[in-house]
């Protein structure tokens, strides 16, 4: 009684759109997730994979930089830690994941 016939008809027509109107409503969300994946998630996964491969490939005698800024030569290796020689006769134990970069041979001398 209080709603005019014109409004009631447009409301009924809008709700009867069905699957196509729902898909068009969700399309911006799907597009935003796709952009987010290709801009943020995929590069981060690629970088993590490269870092893991670098950590697995290190060996005794490699010169590395760790996240704290220390530079040194790997003196010993274990499954989760490395012995990093930062000066002659000074060896510190650090976690493998602290390694940020493997330096070229001879860069510390």
CA distance 84 to 92: 5
Neighbours of 67 (CB within 10 A): 12
In this prediction, residue 13 carries a pLDDT of: 52
Pick from 42, 46, 36, 107: nearest CA to 73: 107
User: Over the stretch 20-51, which tens digit does the pLDDT of each residue have?
Assistant: 888 888 999 999 999 999 999 999 999 999 99
What is residue 18's predicted lDDT score, i.e. its pLDDT?
77
The separation between CA 63 and the C-alpha centre of its own chain, rounded to angstroms, equals 25
d(CA 61, CA 77): 10
CA dist., res. 60 & res. 75, Å (int): 6
Residues in the chain with pLDDT values less than 70: 1-17
Residues of the chain with pLDDT > 90, as a percent, come to: 72
């Amino acid at each position: 009684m209080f709603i005019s016939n014109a409004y009631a008809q447009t409301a009924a027509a809008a709700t009867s759109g069905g699957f196509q109107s729902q898909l068009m409503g969700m399309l911006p969300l799907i597009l935003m997730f796709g952009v987010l994946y290709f801009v943020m998630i995929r590069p981060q996964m690629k970088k993590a994979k490269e870092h893991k491969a670098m950590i697995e490939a290190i060996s005794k005698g490699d010169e590395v930089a760790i996240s704290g800024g220390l530079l040194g030569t790997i003196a010993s290796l274990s499954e989760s830690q490395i012995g990093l020689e930062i000066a002659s006769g000074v060896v510190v134990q650090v976690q493998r994941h602290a390694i940020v970069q493997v330096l070229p041979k001879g860069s510390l001398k």
